[in-house]
Each structure stands twice: as C-alpha cells, then as structure tokens.
Structure 1
C-alpha cells in the first residue's frame, strides 16, 4: 500500500470530524501494471489510477476480479482510503456509534469512521448490514457526502424521495451562484447503471474515480422570516486538486514499447526512462496517464476511450470514380486525412510523423489488420496502424514453465520454437488455428474465429462460400490457404469443414471436420475358422493389423451382405488389393466380437460415412505434405502403416506406423499400397512396397566450450567433460574417446548415454542469419551477402545461441537477431538438402567487441592501441582539402562517432552513416590555419551493442 506524504490531523472527540489532507500520489506497492486480468476490466482508466494511488488493490492472487460485487463494509473502507489514505481501521475502533451489527466485521473501524462523519447512517434501528451488497444509490450517497454534500439539505435523509435526490446529484452537473457550470465529471459518468443495481468492483472504481474529480461546493445560507435558504454556492477545489496533490490527466499517442515493456508517448512527455508500462496492442492509439505535482503517478498507460478507431477494408482504391475510393470511405466514416503530424505504425513499429496519404490506405490487403485512429475526436486521422500476423496451427499440448524469478514462458507446438514470453495462449489446445506476431521479445497470439458448414461454392480465387455465405480470401503468404486449397477439401458439398477467419472476418484456412477417428479401419492379414460344424460351434477368427501398428487375432461375429462372413477364406480370388490382405472397417459388439465390413474401390456406407479404398502406385509421400499423393488429403489423424510382403511365406513383416501428415514416412523413390478414405479424407495409408528413408533427426549433437578440459579415469577408461551440451541441454558428457571442443559435433551414444563415436555435425555451416514469417534465412557461404538459403523449422525444432564463453542458451526462433556476422549451423534430417527443414539451429554469436573495427584516415590505418599522445600520423593534407575517415567491419548494433580537435578545424561534416555491411565513410574539410602548419587530432569512437568501447586516434599535419 502507498506511503502518505502528509498525515491527517484528525480531532477525535465525542464525534470524529472529517478532515482533509494532502495524499501524495506516490507509487503503490501493487500497481495497475501488476494486475493479471487487466484485459477483463471495462473501466481501465479508473482502476489504473485508483490502484496506482493506493485507494484500491488487487486480490492476493494478482487479479482484480472486476465483476465481483462490493459489499457495504468494503465500500466504507474504500471511502475511508479515499479520504485518509493508508490508515488501519483499528485507529477508529474506539469511536462510539449506535450500530449493533458491526462488532464482528473486519471493517469495524472503517464503518465507524464513515458513520461519525455522516457518510453512512444505518437503517435507524442500529443496523448497517455490512455483508450485504452495496447498491449504486447507496454508494452514490456515501460518495456525495464524503466530497462535501450536506445530506440533510440535499434531501438524502428523512425524505421520501431520498433515492431520487441522490441520483439527481450523482448524474447532473453542480452549480453555484446564479449560473450553471459543467463539472469535470459526474459520479456516474461512463456508467450505465440503475439505482438499485449491486455495485461491481469495476463500477465502484469508476464512481470513486469520478468523485476525485467532481468539483465540490460550499453553500451560504440566509434567512427569510426565520426560514433558512441557500443564497449561493462557493466553488471548492476537487479532491484530485487538494487531497491528491494536483492529480491530473495527460494524453498522447503510444508510439513505442521497448524490450522492457516501457512506453513512449508522443504528444505527452513519456519516454522509456520514465518506466511506465505500455501494451503494444495500443500502438498508435491515444492513451492516458496521470501525474501530480511531484511527477508521474501511473504505472501503465491505458487506452483513451474517447478516441475513435475505424477498421480499414483491405480493398480500398485511390480512385474517385470507384465506390471503394479511399476518400469516399473516409467521408462516410466522418474522417479526413491530416496534412502533417500523423503516425503510421506497421507491425508495432512507428515511423516518424508525416502526412498520411490516400495511397497509404489503398490496397492494404485482406491479410492485414489495419485501422485509422482519430485520437482527439476532431475528425482528422492521427494514426494508421497496420499489423500482419502469421497463421499457424497448434499441433500439440501447450506447456508453461516458471523460472526462479517467477517469469512464465510458454511453448506452443507449431507456433513457437521453444519457450517464449507470450500473450493470449491461455485457452489454446491442439488443432486451434492462431494468428501471431512477435514484438519486443513477446509473442502476441490471437485465436482465429471459425465457422462450420459445407462448401457451397467459390468465386474464382477471391472468395469461398460456406452454406451460401461468402468469405473473402485472406492472404495465403502468411500461413493461410488459397481458395483452390480450400475448395479441394470437398467439391461435392457433402462434408463439413471448419473455416478459420482472420481478424477482419476473411477466410484464412479450412479443415475438414475430423470424423476419421471415430471410424475404425484395419487390414486383415489372415483368416481362419476354429471348431466343428457338427457341434455348431464354428468360430471365425481374423488376424488384424490396426491403424496404430498393433497386430491382434480377434473373433469375428456373424455378418451381413458386405461383411466377411464366417467360413470365408483368403484365396487369390478374394484378394481386394495387393497381396494377401483385406481392407475392412469394423465395429465391436457387446461380446467383444468384431463385425468386419469389406471395403471396395467404391463407396461403402459405414455409420453414415462413405468409406472406400484406392490403390496407389509410385506414390509421392513425404512428411508435412497434406496432398500427399494423387490428390488425397490427409490431416493430423491420418495413420500411415508401412509393411513389406514376403512372397516366400505369404506374410507381411511387422509394420512401422506413424500418425499425422507431419509424421508421414518419406520415400526416396516410389511407394505402392492403398489409401482408405472416410468421406474423402485419408484415414489410413497402407504402404506395401517402396524404399523407405528415415526422415527423422535422431542424431545427437554436442557442444563443449573450448575452455573445458576433461578429466580421465584410467580405471574406467572414460573422459568426463564437466560442462557440455547435448542437443542444447547442459550436462556432464562422458565419453570413451577424446572429444572435439569449441565446435558442434555429431556423436553416437550407447545405452548408458556414453559417447562411443564422434563425427562432423553433418549440417551446413553458414555466416549470417535472420528469421521472419516462419522462415530461417541464412547466407549460403562463409562470407556474408553472397547468396541466401531458406529453411522452415520442424514443429519441435530448437534454436540455440552460443556466446563468446561457449555457453548455450535455447531461444525462440522469433528471438533470432538478424546479424550477418553470426556463425550458423543448420542441422536436420539426413535429407535436409531436399526438404530444407531444420531440426536444430546453432548460432555462434559474433564477438560484439568494438575492437573488430578497421579504421583509416585518408587510407592510413589507425589502430585501437593508439592514444592521444601516441596518435598515428595520417598524412599532411592542405587547407580546404577533404579528409575521409573510413570505418569497416563494425558489428550490427554498434555506433560510431568521429570528432576532430576543433581548435584547428571547425568544419567537420559527417556525410554517411553505417551501411548494411558495417561500413561508413565520414568526411570533413580542412580549414585554418592561415599560414604555416598545425596538428589536428582525429578521434574515432566505436561503441558496441554490449557497451564495449574502443577508441582510435590519428593525427594530421595540416599545411596552409
């Protein structure tokens, strides 16, 4: 709770009198920025201020719980806190009241304080009812009296219309003298409530917040014939102005949030060093924050709800003759473009202020979420915000972990690479489609809305129809699908599909509603009968290969016309495809017997679904390939069975099995077999012949820093490396052989996890790396900028950074810092050159030391070992000639400054900055002396991203 700057002098006699005090709005122990459910708060501005100045606080679990009801005892405490600051209720417990039901209340002292000052009255029978919910009218009466209204004069007590009188003053403006003036706000400003409504924590905050800024007044009385009446009102300052030390509202536009979450507010005076939090989702919007006479009060900026944000359609044109003209659209929305001082915010990065033109709004595209903002309600656009997010499917269970500092990170298979800081992941589960973007180290995730129905048409390549409703296609370049991919899921309008939508309501991605998992299919490898027909006890048995790869012998029940009936045998004429197997769907009866339904190359109705098989030959199958062969579409439930038939014994070898197209087997050549489909979607792929290639990355990769020296046990004949990394995990490494240090190596481990062999890593080494739109981009040579190679990442891919000390840290792919000087090793499956899918990425961070720079003056080298006293000679230029200072080889993120001893040379001009390859040329013109020669000093300072500084000194003798 907050500290008070002044202590209220309170006279406690027979009656406790209301005192006023200056309560400095210093930082509360628990701030608004700490609340875990701020996104669920409607009255965010009110809650943020009251939490930050200490009137209210969150719950012990870190939430605010805005929808919870406030009881009468809590309201008494809140009003006491508003007037007194952080005071313990025990200070007032000695106050005498006639209330009989508060002795056991946790808020007894607060209730007594409010009662002694006329803020509460009870029911006249000695009851206060502390545990009952406080209503809006009851809370309004308490607040009105607390800020100076006279309950008796205003008709709040002993008046049949007390409720009406209270709501009148709570909802209307105040007046004094003979003129009416508008207050800063009324008690119910911003609320839509009835007098009898129970007050929620959210609405209580808004009413108390309003009370801080309502202008108080003091009545003056006169008498006419012994009857007292109010002659005029004298305006009094608000609680914000007095008790809260000049608390005042400030607004501006949020234009930046740094890596620590601190905001820059343009138009206000907030910069990151002020350490006020900002939410990147408010970038470009008008935000509010509060200060008092001592400085900043707010812990976080909140959206100024008075500003107007309007979504920009993706298909506007800059053509006045068209109906979708930008200017027409703006006019229809009551807006116009500003000439200057507007912002364009793209993917949470703001440009400098400039005019927004019609061209900026034309053709934004359906994939982008874009809106224009009128921050101050004057009808002029102040900002254009555009955000392009990547589309990904959640492919597994979401996991979280908490570090020793209490920071929570999350791993979302298919979306993030490893554990990252994220927002919006809480309700995600496998199969969800999300849009996401990473900014300032945090991944912001939005779950896509969806509709389910049948595809009833499409419009060229621009729209898809679901149950007759048209959905414009979003952009497929960011993980979405084309209209062709969507409509190919079903061209007969028989199957249900789920269509996922972007934030503009456009079609992103379609998936068949997964019904395959409820329909059991199998392969019959053998069939027999047991028992005697004389005894009528014949039992049919079948040896089944199931979709999960298991094989079992089961009893077969009696069948129907399409079933395999008892007594059937596997003969050449009965084979349905391939060699010696049937393809079946099955159900299991209450006795555990299987009813087998033979499948054919035509649709067989099974449980209301059409199931059939199709023979495949020379099929193309590879991991992640949804349309894997001959137009068949798989999904995350598609099972792949791989078995080889032996003609010598007419049997299949044990099948290998995988589930999901991401885990499909890979064939170097061709594959033969069959595909079982359920309503057109591949449920089971049975491959009977082909050359199978291992597409998994099963190798173990180790890294041991160069500084690590192993210990050797002559008894065990084992080396122990006390600090090493196996697949990025730090651990001791035990080996039968001496291992290479300072490099990523591939090793084989025995069952005891002891290294038994070592070889080169087998990946591809590059120099230069960046990551964006789910694509890893690397330079294709050991020198940068020669060419590019592009990789996707496996769902469970890991990215590691190796620092200058050899320490490995796992990072999210989104956390890769583009750097052309970093070394990169890309590791994957054995066929990585063709699939271009990375399993492990090791990034060796380039030494950011500034001493790697190369500096010369007029082509004369200058070393960092030089000092001002021992500067290298850099030639003897003449007056009014140009001198060039060249800087190359500076790491990304470094800054360079070039200065001269201006006692002799006064016309230094820097005409270039660092280029993309870390080079810069700086020129100046020699001036003075008028005669003779002088020595002028050149100083080049290079400051690396890590703060390392190197200084280069050179000297020149300038001749007149």
Structure 2
C-alpha cells in the first residue's frame, strides 16, 4: 500500500510555469490527532497546506466539512496559489451569499469541471459534503471527467467504483458525511494516483512524467513540479531537504526534489520491522519482531545494506559487524508475507540519555540549547535546527512535561531523535510471565523497556516481587514500562488502631479498616510499630509482603459537649482547628466507647448539635482537610433523608455475630434495598406480598409502604408502616385513574393529584413483586398515593401502581 509520508509546508505556486517557493520553518504539530486512523493523512495535508489547524494547536478531526471547504482543500491540493485565484472573483452559482471567502475556490473548481453543483445553478456551499461527492471531486481533479470510458454506469456508482479501484476509500470511515479527518484521507489517497487525460470520445490516457513512461504523473509531480528519485533516505539523498527527513532515515522509497535538488516529499516503498536477529552468524538470519513476536525468514544478502547508528550513516556497502542477538534493530526491507526478500537498511538506535525529565532539563532547552546533557544541532542563525531531529510522542518540545519518560538519541553532531512517553498507569501487578516477557497492570499487558531497548541506564524493571502490589508505572513512547512507584507502600489508606500487641506476638496491631472490617497486621519493623498508637486514627501503607510499612497523619481531638458539625463539610470545636474543613470522601469511624467499632458516612453524623462523645480527626498530608473521623455511635444516627421502602422478600438469617435477624430485599427511595435488621418482627407479617390485581380493595389490602430507621452501620433498627395520620402524611387509598398528565399529575373520579418532580413509583408485577416504574400513567391504572410531607406541600412523593387491564 502506498504511503505518502510527509510534505513541505504550504507551497506557493500555480499550475504550469509558475515557480515554487518553499517554507523553511518546520511544521508545528497538531495536538489532537495522535493515534487516530487518519493521523498520517492529516499530517501530510497539514504540512502541504491543504488543511489547516486552529490557533490553539488543535485540528478537530471530527468536525464536519461542507462543500465550500472541500472545494478549497482540493484547490490547494492542485497547488493553485492566491495569485492565480485572483482571477476567479465571480461565479455563476446562485447560492454563495455568506460564502464570499469561498467564491474563488468554487469558481475555479466550476471552471475546471471539478465541482458541478445541483444542475439548477446551486453549489450548496454550506451543506456537509458526503463521501461519494468528495471522491467524485477528487477523481475529477486528477482528470476523470464524466465522459471517461472508465466510468461505467451512472453517478454515483460510476465514480464510486473507480474510486474503490484506485484506493480512494482506503482508511475512510464507512459513514455518509465527511469530517475533517476523512476529507484529509480522501485527498491523501489521491495524491499519488496517476493522472489521466480524457479526449472528446471518452478515451482515457494515463499521463507520464517521462517519455519512457516509467514515472507516472501525480498531483505531487505535476502540481509541485517535482522530480523524483528512488533510494534510501539518508544515504542516497537527505543532506539537502526542506522537510524534516530524520523520521524517514533508512527508508527506501521515492524522494521528490525541487529545482534546487532539495527533498520536499518522500513516499516510502518498504516495510519497517523492529526486532532482533535470532542468530549472530550474519545478517541473513531469521528476524523476530519485538511487539508482535513474529518470525520472518530472511533471504537477503549483506551487499548493499546501509547501516545507520542513531540516524547517522556508518556504511553504505554492508554492515561492518555481525548482528548481535538480544540487540534491537530496525530493518527497512522488501517483505512479502513473513519473508524478507531484501534489506535496504539496518538501523541501530542506542539511547544516549534516558530519565524521567525534570524542570531543570526543560529549562536547559532554552538556556543552553541542550536537553538532558546532549546538545541540539544549530542552524546558521545559531538557533535549534528543528529539521535535524525527530520528535516522537509529542507535537513540540513545549509539550514535554516534568516526569515524562524521555529517551534522547545523539550522534557525533548532536540530538537526532527524542522519544517522549506521557502516559502513566496505576493498578495491581499480576499474570507475571518473566521480566523479558509480559505482565499485567490491571487488565492490560506490558513489558519492561529495560529488557527491550538498547542501553537504558536509569530504567527499572517490574519483577515477580511486585506481583500483587499496586504500582504507578511510567510508560515510554513505545508503550513499555520505564519505571514505577509502588504506591501500596504509600500511606494512602486510613484506619483506626483498635489494639496493639504488647506481649507474645511481635509487632501486631488490629485495625478497623475503611470498609468497616477488622483485621490484624504486622508492622515491618520496630520503628514502624512504635508509630502505631492504640486508640488513634492513622494513614498507612503496606509493602508487598502485606506488612504496615508507612504510617503518617496528624490528628486532633475535641471533647464531648464542645464539638459541633455544622454541615457535612465543616466541624467546629476541635482543639487545634476551630473550624476544620472535611474532605468529601472522609471516612467516619464509630465506637461504642468500649470495644465495638464500625464505619458510617458523614451524612449520618448529627448536625448542629453538640456531640455527646469525644471526636477525633485525622488530617491529610497538607494538613488542610479532615480525611477520617472517629465519633460516638450515638452521635451518628441521623438520616440524610427519610427512608421509605417496599419489601419484596423478608427472611430470617444470622448476622455477623451469629444472632438471628431479618434480611429485607426490595426498594428504598427508588433504589435497590438489601439490608439486615438488628432483630426480628420489624415488617408486618414478615413483609406483605403485593397482589397483582386491578381490584382496588384487594390491591390496597396487599401493599405496604414502610418508613425505615437505620443505625450508623446501615442496619435497620425500626420499621413503621406508613398510614394517613391526618397531619404530615396523606395517603390516597387505592383508586382508579380516569386521566393522567404523564408523571406530573393524575386524576380519579373526584380529584386531581399533583405529583412531585422526583416522584418515586413502584409497580406491582405479575409475580407479586414491586419494581421501579419509570413510565407515564394512563387511564385505568390503579394507584395508591403517598404525600409524606403533607404539612409542607400538596404534592405526592410515592406511588404504588397496578397497570390498567391487569
């Protein structure tokens, strides 16, 4: 498959005899195209000036392209300069109002038969162009006018078929309308297609750049007036180039050169393989790729192979030494299937400097024109020559940030390549198959960079010792793990120290954890053990052996009667911080003051009333927010909202202490309910089973709504059947609806009832169970309505429903 790899910046020229002017400054990158299918196509079009970016450095690849915009792109692809477009100030298209900027492009394309309009005099400039229209315009631009004998059938099938044959749909998304990414891809696919000329009889003749008919005429050669040569970049040509050819060094292909013999574009005609030779005898041995782990047979000879070290040509006749097993090389070769027919070049990349970059390193770029101790190559103005090196992983040097993984590759002149890894991953290490093979962090597989790349000095390997640990790993530009931090060892968990062993078992403590469980741990050493004080809140971390290895945290306290929680985010009256801010993810531990500990949520802590027990608070490492609290369980019985529930099933079961209690399953406040009680007999008749019926009396007698009370551990301590009490609770007993306004209001034979905007509706289904109902009411539905704050408003908050006709 052809690959147009790069182009010069906007080339200011006109068709025919106009001369070219080349921009000598490098293109700046686009920040939002990395990794997408059309990245290369966009970059080529951007370098050529066919498409443009935005001032903020973005391209917006998913932005729709209208017909006027595509006409402008195809005109630029033909290298028509503004001076030539100056003659196209008017057009016969009738609908260009508001598109004055596009008139020259529309007029030019109309005059050349590239864009025809709707046949009624309209260009439809503002309508999003579809894929078939775009490939039609592209084909017309390279000569395929409507009477071509190679266009069989009627539009669009005639142009679609030809476009498919010529590869114009390659990597174009199978969608109707064209966005910027696909517009760039269609034009990219057209750039190297051979142009044609069609005579009046429809005869279609291919165009050639030479009389021998060996060099086809393309948009590149005709529009840019380039000459072409075959060879290896960096060996046969490359010293004089307008574009940055460093990233193509070693590749075999066609270079397009301007009249000054400067490379302005390059089309690769080889396959790149990254991996290792399987034996050391010579360069004919089988080759194994690093990432895909695929073996390629090798039938080449060493004669004529160009050998590069860090982008610098060492020899153009044959490598001077045998290949080394375990050394990674980049081969550019003629490959068919899994067979290497000919090696054009061997690239050996040896990392000169590697590290997690620092702010000081970044400062050196401007101050010393160096990076991580390696000098940049300078231009004639003693400024950094951006065409002298390749930047991988980021769009510009300004995008490199502290703690990015950076590899610098230098030759005798200076920096030739910089690879930047910007990603990190956090997760548990598992499925370890060996340092040189794969392991997983979370659910994704990785390999260690140190075991693959050549000469990394500062990288660290994830080993079998890290299995089970939670790590933060730093990923290089190729996706390998460069280094890592074991964050299990960080003090990022909170707990309450229940008890501390004083005799017998060495260095053991019992902690109440953030999930409410109680667990015994060992401290890794006596110094750590000394920091674990019984009866205190701590931040802690574990090492890979599961031992407490890090203890931190600053605590303060407040005595009973002096501490008040004014909200879920502020507590007043603590000893060292009178008005302390509470973190939104604070963990609240509870105690009975003796030996029972649990965990609740901050909304359950009593507000605007003095605490009856002592309070302890643990601050974060910055000392500005409370991340854990210890309160008396009697001070944590508030409800953030009243809880109203329906029960599908209530049955006996033992709790964690072995006591017989009940488990209730159903729904509460519109969400799933699955909670234990602290005893038995809390639900009427063990929980009524609703009856699936439209008979109002039977229905009313079978359903029941309960108000629940929960303790700090979310255990049900009381259930109260909800009935009309004549004051704050109003119940409309089962009634049949004659009308309904969605979920806004319902009407029976005598009254209309307004429903709350957040009304909760439970439907009784045919199995005799409640389920949450999200639809609208209709005539004939049987409903029972509950207004649970009737003294505050007249809206009904909860509805139990049996659908009409059941």
Question: Normalization by structure 1: what TM-score?
Answer: 0.41
Point out the structure with the larger strand share: 1
